[in-house]
Homo-oligomer: A and B are copies of this chain.
């Protein structure tokens, strides 16, 4: 089994593909794109971002905006491959769950 959880990393990578953002903005984007479904708390967000950075999938730099310092995260080049894998993995998972829920009626597809 397994594969249900751990999707958050992929979602963050997906968001950062459009361009660098800082933590708060990432959370906002995630909320917006998911239609309000995903409300990621900071205690979840930052550890995941740091993990992604340690894995070389994002890079961060400090930026100063009107005195306040922000950490801006950007997707690394190799994150594109990882993102694609994650997405495909998600699609497989999603289809598998669909076919368990719905008994996959007539075999037209495929």
A contact set with B: CB distance below 8 Å: 1, 3-8, 10-11, 14-15, 18, 30, 33-35, 37-41, 44, 87, 90, 92-94, 96-101, 103-104
Whether A34 pairs with B96 at a CB distance below 8 angstroms is yes
Whether B100 pairs with A15 at a CB distance below 8 angstroms is yes
Main secondary structure on chain A at its contact with chain B?
helix
CB distance from A25 to the nearest CB of B (A): 15
Measured between beta carbons, the chain B residues less than 8 angstroms from A39 are: 1
- Across the two chains, which residue of chain B brings its CB closest to A13? B101
Measured between beta carbons, the chain B residues less than 8 angstroms from A98 are: 94
- Across the two chains, which residue of chain B brings its CB closest to A33? B100
Whether A93 pairs with B37 at a CB distance below 8 angstroms is yes
Give me 19 A-to-B residue pairs in the complex whose CB atoms sit less than 8 angstroms apart, sorted by A's number: A1-B8, A1-B38, A3-B37, A4-B8, A11-B97, A11-B100, A11-B101, A14-B100, A33-B99, A34-B96, A34-B97, A34-B100, A35-B96, A35-B99, A37-B92, A38-B100, A90-B97, A90-B101, A94-B94
Known contacts: A97-B90, A103-B18. The answer to whether A4 contacts B4 by CB under 8 A is yes
